[in-house]
Every structure is written in structure tokens, then in C-alpha cells.
């Protein structure tokens, strides 16, 4: 007789050992404590006829947004298809959703998970994966509402409850519900201190509210949880660097880049993106980051198969090339990304739309700014800004767009635009050293800086 999982969700295995290994893998996916692959191998060894571990492997590999892992993910889905007869309807839905991700149909995958969750609101795997691909698509409402629909069906005693609560906290933050987000994140950590996503959600709140000193202390307070043995460490170091940047401690940012976001610390593109995002912000402030950027670009896979896979990553690769002084390579990268985005092979692919509407204009703007055409960069960026959420990532990550706009406005003649952006910023959070820097560059009168 088949064994349900710990939350009563039906599974296609009669092996308690296989189920327990899959549960451990699920915890790893939600906590980021080591990769889940060894646990999934153990699940398959315990029950070779169970399809779900292959689906989980494929989904995990695809969640890394690495083109080089696509073939391996596809192979696992093929193996899962061969075992599909043993799947429950819930497991078939997961198989279908991950296949949609593989096909580039990210919105369709999230809809499939949404439908699954109506019948199985305690399916943590669906909640985790849908949140990731909502994040990659910039769907803030999905980030908040999906977890909200499921949470009342959960028991706080469930070992994964705090992780689901942290998903809700991050969704609240991305919908600008900062007090509720902070409360949910702190509550998750009270229930279980080993929830890096909750630490992350509260850090985002503090970033958006300009609480940079408090944010640095928050991350320091929980550093024992996330800094060692956790796959999310690089991104939380990125957040720590952002707090230093807000305080205009550029030397502190460079130390974090050198120690935590360079060399062997950069194993996947998501980590390279964080490094590029910090270096670009420093570059806009006039810091010499060419050597670090050259090392970053040299370690970034930029083969044809990688160009145009995910627009968010593509823009950051472009930034790394430009900062490294590789303008010719940057132009070639842009051309290859554009060629893939304009291909008519399947208009349902999420990245095609992201790239055409946001990614490619951003890349052109970065190139224009590097060439000295500050006004051209500003004129390209400003119309894109309103729809930049469709580009994916978080508010904090997409602030790279505003930082670039501020630099372009300061270097060119679009000072009115720059002042308007600063007005937005000043009403959103207290004046910070970084905001004051741009006010000085924009020659905002002293009386307007209070």
C-alpha cells in the first residue's frame, strides 16, 4: 500500500524509506542546507519505480536557471515519464508543471501548481517551486496570495510550517506590506531559527525602508544560521553588502565582494548575478572595479546556448562585460540574446516576452551609458522602468535600474528626471548617505535635502 507524505499528500511509493528521503530533499530545497540530489538518489534506490524523485531532481536543476543543466533535467523528466503509470494525480501535476518549466512556459507551470494546491494546500513542494518561478517572473501578487491561500490549512507543529510562513513573508514584502512581512518573518524564526528565507524576507523589509544599520545588525545576528553550509549564503552576503552600500561604505562592499562573491564562491549564475549587481552599483559611484569585473566575466559561461536563456541573468552578464572593458563582447552578447528573444519558435516562452519588453532595452541602455550617451541611456531606461517587475527578481534587485537612471541623469542633461526619481526615493524611506550622494550629483538645493 502506498505511503502518504508527512502532510497526508498521496504518493506513488509504498516505501517509507523512499518517502523519508524525499522529505529530507524537500526540506533541503526549502532551507538551502546542501543540495537535495543525494537524498533523491537515495529515494530512487529505495524505490526505483517511483517517479517523483526524478521530477524533484529535474525541478531543482531547472530552479538554478543554468542552461548547462537543462539536458540533465530533461533526462530526469524522461525517466519520470517512463514511470508515470505509478504516479498519483498530484504527482502527475508536478510532472506536468516541471515539463512546462523546461519548455519555458513558466506562467503555465505556476498555474498548474495553483490548481494542484486547491486540492492539496499542504503540498510544500508546489508552494516552494511556484514561489521560485513567481520570483523569476516578477509576479508579486502570486508570491503573496498563494501562500496566503494555503497557510490556514497548515498546523504550526508541522516541521515545514515556518518555511511556508517565510514564503508568505517574502510575498508580503514584495507587495509593499512591510510591517506584516516583518512580523511574519520574525514569527517564522521564532518557530524555527533555521529558516534563511525568513531572515531574507526581513532583510528585504529593512532594505526597502532604508534601515541599513539595523539591517546589517539583523544579518549579523542570524549569521550563524545562514553563512556556513547554506546555499543561500551568497545572496545574504549580497544583502549585507547592500546595507553597506546604502551607508556609502564602498570599501566594505568591496571586502564582501572579494571574500564572499568572487573566485570559487561563484559556482552558479545566480551567484554571479549578485556579484555583478554589486560591482555595477560601485561602478556607477565611480569605483574602479575593472579587475574584479574581468575576473567575473572570465568565469561566466557565455556560450551561444546560454545567450537569451533568462533575461535577468543576461543583463547582469552584460554589465560584467562592460565593466571589464569588453565592449565588443558585450555587443556580441546583446546581439545573440536579441536573436533568441526575437525567435518565433514558441511565443509562450516566458523569457521571450521578458527579454523583448525589459531585458533587451536594459542591455541597450547599459551599453549606451558605457559609450558616454547618458541621455540615450536615460531615455531608454525610463519608459521600461514602469514595467520592470515583469523582468523578474525583487524590488531590491531591480533597484539597479533606478541606480543606473540616477547615474545617467547626473552625467547627462536629464536632471529633471533624476530629481523626480530622488523625490520618489525620499518619500519611500529616510535620507541615507547613498541618496544624499545622488542628490549632490544632481545639484538638488540644500533646502530640499532635509
DSSP state letters, 6-53: TTS---S---HHHHHHHHHHHHHHHH-SS-SHHHHHHHHHH-TT-SHH
Predicted model pTM: 0.95
What pLDDT does residue 1 have? 65
Q: Residue 308, by phi and psi: left (phi above 0), alpha (psi -120 to 50) or beta?
A: left
What pLDDT does residue 349 have? 77
What pLDDT does residue 226 have? 94
* Mean pLDDT of all residues in 377-403: 95
How far apart, in Å, are the Cα atoms of 248 and each of 77, 254, 316, 433? 47, 11, 22, 6
How many angstroms separate the CA atoms of 382 and 387, rounded? 10
Helix (H, G, I), strand (E, B) or coil at 424: helix
Among candidate residues 144, 121, 116, the one with its CA nearest the CA of residue 131: 144
What pLDDT does residue 171 have? 98
Provide the 10 A C-beta neighbour count for residue 387: 12
How many angstroms separate the CA atoms of 115 and 155, rounded? 21
* Mean pLDDT of all residues in 367-371: 98
pLDDT tens track for 81-94: 999 998 999 999 99
Q: Is the pLDDT of residue 346 over 60?
A: no
How many angstroms separate the CA atoms of 154 and 7, rounded? 9
Per the listing, cell 540615450 goes with: 376
Structure confidence at residue 204 as a pLDDT band (50, 70, 90): very high
Exposed / middle / buried, residue 27 (Cβ in 10 Å: 0-12, 13-18, 19+): middle
pLDDT tens track for 138-154: 999 999 999 999 999 99
Distance of CA 206 to the CA centre of its chain: 18
Provide the 10 A C-beta neighbour count for residue 450: 6
What pLDDT does residue 255 have? 96
DSSP state letters, 170-211: HHHHHTT-HHHHHHHHHHHHHH-S--HHHHHHHHHHHHHTT-
Exposed / middle / buried, residue 221 (Cβ in 10 Å: 0-12, 13-18, 19+): exposed
Segment (H or E) for 292: helix 290-298
Structure confidence at residue 353 as a pLDDT band (50, 70, 90): confident
Per the listing, cell 517587475 goes with: 389
What pLDDT does residue 446 have? 54
Segment (H or E) for 59: helix 52-63
How many angstroms separate the CA atoms of 96 and 85, rounded? 14
Q: What is the CA radius of gyration of the chain?
A: 22
The answer to whether 147 and 167 have CB atoms below 8 angstroms apart is yes
Q: Is the pLDDT of residue 191 over 90?
A: yes
Beta-carbon contacts of 284 under 8 Å, excluding residues fewer than 6 positions away, are 403, 404, 406, 407
How far apart, in Å, are the Cα atoms of 377 and each of 14, 65, 308? 60, 28, 21
Domains and CATH numbers, the chain: 1-130 (1.25.40), 262-450 (no CATH)
pLDDT tens track for 12-67: 999 999 999 999 999 999 999 999 999 999 999 999 999 999 999 999 999 999 99
What pLDDT does residue 25 have? 98
What pLDDT does residue 228 have? 87
Per the listing, cell 554589465 goes with: 319
What pLDDT does residue 344 have? 55
Beta-carbon contacts of 398 under 8 Å, excluding residues fewer than 6 positions away, are 138, 388, 389, 391
DSSP letter (8 states) at residue 305:
T
Among candidate residues 373, 338, 376, the one with its CA nearest the CA of residue 359: 338
For the chain, what is the total number of helices (H) and then of strands (E)?
25, 0
What pLDDT does residue 146 have? 96
Segment (H or E) for 77: helix 70-82
Amino acid at each position: 500500500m502506498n505511503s502518504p507524505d508527512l502532510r497526508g499528500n498521496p504518493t506513488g511509493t509504498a516505501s517509507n524509506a523512499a518517502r523519508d528521503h524525499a522529505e529530507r530533499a524537500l526540506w533541503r530545497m526549502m532551507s538551502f542546507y546542501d543540495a537535495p540530489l543525494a537524498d533523491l538518489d537515495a529515494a530512487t534506490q529505495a524505490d526505483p519505480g517511483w517517479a517523483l524523485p526524478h521530477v524533484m531532481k529535474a525541478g531543482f536543476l531547472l530552479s538554478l536557471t543554468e542552461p548547462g543543466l537543462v539536458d540533465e533535467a530533461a533526462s530526469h523528466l524522461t525517466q519520470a515519464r517512463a514511470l508515470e503509470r505509478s504516479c498519483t494525480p498530484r504527482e502527475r501535476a508536478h510532472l506536468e508543471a516541471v515539463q512546462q518549466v523546461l519548455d519555458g512556459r513558466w506562467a503555465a507551470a505556476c498555474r498548474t501548481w495553483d490548481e494542484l494546491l486547491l486540492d492539496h494546500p499542504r503540498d510544500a513542494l508546489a508552494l516552494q517551486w511556484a514561489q521560485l518561478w513567481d520570483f523569476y517572473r516578477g509576479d508579486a501578487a502570486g508570491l503573496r496570495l498563494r501562500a496566503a491561500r494555503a497557510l490556514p490549512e497548515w498546523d504550526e507543529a508541522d516541521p515545514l510550517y515556518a518555511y511556508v510562513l517565510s514564503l508568505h513573508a517574502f510575498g508580503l514584502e514584495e507587495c509593499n506590506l512591510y510591517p506584516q512581512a516583518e512580523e511574519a518573518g520574525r514569527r517564522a524564526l521564532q518557530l524555527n531559527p533555521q529558516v534563511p528565507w525568513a531572515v531574507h524576507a526581513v532583510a528585504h523589509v529593512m532594505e526597502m525602508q532604508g534601515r541599513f544599520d539595523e539591517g546589517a545588525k539583523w544579518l549579523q545576528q542570524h549569521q550563524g544560521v545562514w553563512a556556513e553550509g547554506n546555499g543561500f549564503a551568497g545572496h545574504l552576503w549580497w544583502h549585507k553588502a547592500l546595507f553597506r552600500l546604502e551607508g556609502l561604505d564602498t570599501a566594505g562592499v568591496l571586502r564582501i565582494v572579494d571574500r564572499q562573491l568572487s573566485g570559487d564562491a561563484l559556482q552558479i549564475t545566480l551567484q554571479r548575478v549578485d556579484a555583478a549587481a554589486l560591482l555595477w552599483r560601485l561602478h556607477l559611484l565611480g569605483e574602479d572595479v575593472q579587475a574584479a569585473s574581468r575576473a567575473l566575466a572570465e568565469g561566466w559561461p557565455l556560450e551561444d546556448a546560454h545567450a537569451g536563456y533568462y533575461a535577468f541573468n543576461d543583463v547582469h552578464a552584460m554589465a560584467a562585460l562592460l565593466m571589464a572593458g569588453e565592449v565588443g563582447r558585450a555587443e556580441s552578447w546583446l546581439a545573440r540574446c536579441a536573436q533568441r528573444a526575437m525567435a518565433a519558435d514558441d511565443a509562450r516562452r516566458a523569457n521571450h516576452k521578458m527579454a523583448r519588453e525589459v531585458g533587451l532595452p536594459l542591455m541597450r541602455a547599459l551599453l549606451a551609458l558605457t559609450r558616454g550617451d547618458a541621455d540615450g541611456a536615460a531615455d531608454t531606461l525610463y519608459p521600461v522602468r514602469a514595467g520592470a517587475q515583469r523582468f523578474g527578481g525583487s524590488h531590491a534587485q531591480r533597484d539597479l535600474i533606478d541606480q543606473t537612471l540616477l547615474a545617467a541623469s547626473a552625467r547627462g542633461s536629464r536632471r529633471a528626471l533624476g530629481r523626480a526619481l530622488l523625490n520618489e526615493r525620499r518619500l519611500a524611506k529616510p535620507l541615507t548617505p547613498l541618496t544624499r550622494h545622488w542628490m549632490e550629483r544632481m545639484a538638488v538645493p540644500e533646502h530640499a535635502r532635509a
